[in-house]
Structure 1
Amino acid sequence: MTSKVEFRGLRRVFGKTVTLDGLDLTVEPGQFVALLGPSGCGKTTALRCVAGFERPDSGAVLVDGKDITDVPANKRDAGMVFQSYSLFPNLNARDNVAFGLRVRRVAAATRRARADELLELVGLPGHADRYPHQLSGGQQQRVALARALALEPRVLLLDEPLSALDAKVRVALREEIRRLQLGLGITTIFVTHDQEEALSIADRVAVLRDGRLEQAGPPAEVYDRPATPFVAEFVGTMNHLPGRLAGDGKVTVLGQTLPVDGAVPADPDVHVLVRPEAVQVTHTTGSQPESGIGEVVTASFRGASVRLRLLLDGHDVLADVPGHEAARLAPGTRVAIRLVERPVLVAARTAPDAV
């Protein structure tokens, strides 16, 4: 069974700090939604409000249309995986997984079979008798995940479960979590401050800032069409190029005139926000300074692509180019710089989000 989760106008204040400020968000049945944002944006508080560990000062949490704001945590039918694993050190992996079943007085044989089944599901067959100190960090987190699934919750809550792991283990385990989520069809809310993590596994990404929702949508939409300058800055890398509004919803930048996507500031002098992959670089022999002519400063290998740092009229510009083209674009090379012909986001040069 899978459920719909709704945050309706959630507000939570700690002293003088507003952690959630009218959060509205819907998670459809079976969806995997990542709450993404910087530290202190309210994402973990929102998750804890669903789990029942925090009570909002106003607003409500609904599951399948039922207000559960006042329902005790142990009655909410939600499984939670914490950043710190939180395994019982005196229990082996099997007993950790079966702990909730034991609390519910499930028969010993049944809970043993269920625990062994889940340990196999998370890739830990043969580890049932090991204690937490005998397991790696990734293995401990798998046990924590199995424990959260043992009671067959309608909602799975993951609070930065991979942040304490090294990079290679994180990638492997996040893919495993996604595989399990798809297989079980369970509604899942995943808190992270890692944009790559959110974009790689979620059906929808919800970007939070200061307790408010800035944008929610499929990963490609959030990355390619950020709704605000803040989202553009936080999700992925962004160049700031000086431009000037040309009227009729267009902006002139690097000698090109491009359509503007989104709001247009009152001041005509703007920052044009452009992803590195939207910057086109070609070798040039031109010797006279002109718009769109710069120089390669550094080249960083990134696998299939190379990230160039360019110097253009005193500004740093990042560009991602295919690896096979990088040999002709060594540091010191003079290059012509153009932007892909597509709508761009702009921000006032004086706006906090634009710097």
Structure 2
Amino acid sequence: MSTATLPAATHVAGATVEFRGLRRSFGATTALDGLDLAVQPGELLALLGPSGCGKTTALRILAGFESHDAGEVLVDGEPITSIPAHRRDAGMVFQSYSLFPHLTAADNVAFGLRMRGTGKAERRARAHELLELVGLPQHAARYPHQLSGGQQQRIALARALALKPRVLLLDEPLSALDAKVRLSLREEIRRLQQELGITTLFVTHDQEEALSMADRVAVLRAGRLEQCATPSELYARPATAFVAEFVGTMSRIPAERAGGGTVAVLGRRHAVDGALPADGPLDVLLRPENVRLAPAADGPALVTAASFLGAVTRLTVRLADGTEVKADLPTEAAAALPLGGRADISLPERPVLVDRRTAASDRA
């Protein structure tokens, strides 16, 4: 993709987007259950969550491709429910590219302009400008079947931008691409979005994509917003156990109430980060980088697996009660803990995230 300075005419003013109490059901299935969410001008907001959480439904309602049962959607403070999809000033890029197979790359980019009655010369100039923007000017005369998947998705992105929309909507646009192309294209999309200043909503179920691309990430579960925060805050201070386990890797270790708002885990008392459940057995939730291991012939943890990750090696250890815990150690330190070896295990002196103990199937 070109790294040249963008033409002034290409820049757009980012719009605000608001979902207020948005509800949508399909028969007995509730897709959105009172979604409240605001997107700031020029922000890239990722909608993240498991399949069926409502993220694509929210995007389609914003685009005008889907109706809603209650609530409202506003763009720059104005309700848009009564505005048809083709007049909502939103560009959408789909997972499946959705290019017209009988049109060249340039004609695909210019299609929306043609539908608006834009003159031929202006259409050609705009298509060339957008093809330059996505780094494919030399492919203007090619048809979709003559392009790779990554190239087709760039053409789809250029087409979405051709009408200078106030909002750009990306519905899992990278999931059909191989890993190397996906990594390259997500970096290019992010750079382009920042340079254009366009408000963007990005739907994905891939946490790595969300955390690496977004200004903020909204985690949805069963049609409800669990948390909306910056990637670093989402990872370091998850608001709920669901967010903690969905974003990044978490281990659960049984804990006991120790009084004074503390819990006992691995033989030590720790303050609780957030609310302590009123009753029932407890688990402490731990990131791998917050688990400490040290070789000990009679230690309580048995090393059962190791995954080399470069500078870090992720070890899996099993405690006496069968609990499995993951720990990230510098690879040099991990070498002292071979498979079948034993280790002492401890936690940093900091508050811990606690959740009511439940079966794994109930946390899905």
Q: TM-score range by the shorter chain?
A: over 0.9
- Quick one: which of 31, 36, 54 aligns to 2:43? 31
1:300 aligns with 2:307: yes
Q: Kindly state the Cα deviation for residue 354 of structure 1 after the two structures are TM-superposed.
A: 5.5
**Unaligned 5+ residue runs, structure 2?**
1-12
> Which secondary structure state, in structure 2, belongs to the residue aligned with residue 232 of structure 1?
helix
1:227 aligns with 2:227: no
Partner in structure 1 of residue 135 of structure 2: 123
Partner in structure 2 of residue 185 of structure 1: 197
- Is residue 7–residue 23 contact of structure 1 (8 Å, CA) maintained in 2? yes
- Quick one: which of 250, 256, 261 aligns to 2:262? 250
- Is residue 294–residue 335 contact of structure 1 (8 Å, CA) maintained in 2? yes
- Quick one: which of 19, 31, 35 aligns to 1:19? 31
Partner in structure 2 of residue 101 of structure 1: 113
**Counterpart amino acid of residue 228 in structure 2:** A
- Is residue 280–residue 357 contact of structure 2 (8 Å, CA) maintained in 1? no
Instruction: Give the TM-score, by structure 2 length.
Output: 0.93
- Is residue 281–residue 319 contact of structure 1 (8 Å, CA) maintained in 2? yes
Partner in structure 1 of residue 316 of structure 2: 309
Cα RMSD of the aligned pairs, angstroms, is: 1.4
- Quick one: which of 161, 171, 176 aligns to 1:159? 171
- Quick one: which of 319, 338, 342 aligns to 1:334? 342
Aligned positions of 1:31-50 closer than 5 A: 31-50=43-62
**Counterpart amino acid of residue 325 in structure 1:** A
> Which secondary structure state, in structure 1, belongs to the residue aligned with residue 156 of structure 2?
helix
Partner in structure 1 of residue 327 of structure 2: 319
Q: Kindly state the Cα deviation for residue 248 of structure 1 after the two structures are TM-superposed.
A: 2.0
Equivalent residue pairs, number: 350
**More displaced 10-residue stretch of structure 1: 91-100 or 260-269:** 260-269
Q: Kindly state the Cα deviation for residue 204 of structure 1 after the two structures are TM-superposed.
A: 0.5
Q: Kindly state the Cα deviation for residue 247 of structure 1 after the two structures are TM-superposed.
A: 2.0
**Counterpart amino acid of residue 318 in structure 2:** L
Q: Kindly state the Cα deviation for residue 13 of structure 1 after the two structures are TM-superposed.
A: 0.9
Distance 1:86 1:42 in 2: 22
Distance 2:184 2:317 in 1: 34
**Counterpart amino acid of residue 249 in structure 1:** G
**Unaligned 5+ residue runs, structure 1?**
none
**Counterpart amino acid of residue 294 in structure 1:** A
> Which secondary structure state, in structure 1, belongs to the residue aligned with residue 51 of structure 2?
coil
Q: 1:353 to 1:339 in 2, by over 3 A?
A: farther
> Which secondary structure state, in structure 2, belongs to the residue aligned with residue 236 of structure 1?
coil
Percent identity, aligned pairs only, is: 68
> Which secondary structure state, in structure 2, belongs to the residue aligned with residue 179 of structure 1?
helix
- Give a deviation string over 1:132-181, Cα, whole Å, max 9, x none: 10111111101000100000000000000011111111111111110000
**Would you identify which runs of 4 or more consecutive aligned residues in structure 1 move more than 3 Å?**
350-355
**Counterpart amino acid of residue 345 in structure 1:** L
- Give a deviation string over 1:214-266, Cα, whole Å, max 9, x none: 11010111111111111111111110001012122211111122111122112
- Quick one: which of 60, 69, 79 aligns to 1:57? 69
> Which secondary structure state, in structure 1, belongs to the residue aligned with residue 340 of structure 2?
coil
Q: 1:207 to 1:275 in 2, by over 3 A?
A: same
> Which secondary structure state, in structure 1, belongs to the residue aligned with residue 306 of structure 2?
strand
Distance 1:341 1:125 in 2: 57
Distance 2:125 2:216 in 1: 35
Partner in structure 2 of residue 69 of structure 1: 81
